[in-house]
Amino acid sequence: MKNLLVLSCIYLFSCNPATETKIDATFVDSGFKQKGTAVEDADTALTADSKVAAIRTAVQAINSQTLQVQSFNWSEPSCADVGTITYYLNNDEIVKVIETGFIGDGGWIQEYYYSKGKFIFSFEQNIGGPAGLPADTNEMRIYMNADTLVLQKKNKKDLDDVSKKLTPASREYRILKAWKDKNFGEVLCN
């Protein structure tokens, strides 16, 4: 119940229709080597642990930058009573997206991180459960390198399946296109 209250507060403070604000921070080097427009590891022979460490460094760098913020409200009766999606831009490039939503007795917050247009990390937290009972909380972390899964954690435990590959039709990339079209419900619910 306490977690649902926290999610509700986050939602209430983030629900400004199509608003734009700026946040201040400083930039920290991500430790990634850029080849063309794709972000790849500096050494393709890096271990999974080294790749995860590099991704964490890149996420920390994104969170420490001065970013332009654009926030939009959305809803889709089939999957969300109410939702907010916030895009964080660095020089007109989307580097972070935070999506929140509520349906029934539950809600979620999902953060997506990008480097040079490539998806590198997501954190998802789902909170909910039947009314009158303690809320369940589940967390998922996904680390990606060159559109291939490096590590997936659920509730801080490593998951064995490391076969995920991303395509332009993957949700992580459709969410970028939704920023231009503003068709958030269609992208997030399908």
Can you point out the beta strands (E) in the chain? 19-23, 33-35, 38-40, 67-76, 80-90, 93-103, 106-115, 118-128, 136-145, 148-154, 157-158
Choice between 159 and 44, residue whose per-residue pLDDT is larger: 159
* pLDDT (0 to 100) of residue 91: 92
Is residue 188 within 8 Å of 74, Cβ to Cβ? yes
φ, ψ (nearest 5 deg) of residue 137: -125, 130
Task: Read off the pLDDT of each residue in 60-69 and give the average, rounded to a whole number.
Answer: 96
| pLDDT exceeds cutoff 90 at 131 | no
3-state secondary structure of 180: helix
The predicted pLDDT at position 79 comes to 78
Token couple for 36:
């063309």
Q: For residue 116, what are the CA distances in angstroms to 34, 95, 146?
A: 8, 8, 11
Q: What value does the mean pLDDT take over residues 8-14?
A: 40
Task: Please say if the pLDDT value at position 18 is more than 70.
Answer: no
Q: Is the dihedral of CA 51, 52, 57, 60 positive or negative?
A: positive
pLDDT at 185 exceeding the cut of 50 = yes
Sign of CA dihedral 178, 181, 187, 189: positive
Question: Residue 160 — pLDDT band, cuts 50, 70, 90?
Answer: confident
Is the pLDDT assigned to residue 149 strictly greater than 70? Answer: yes
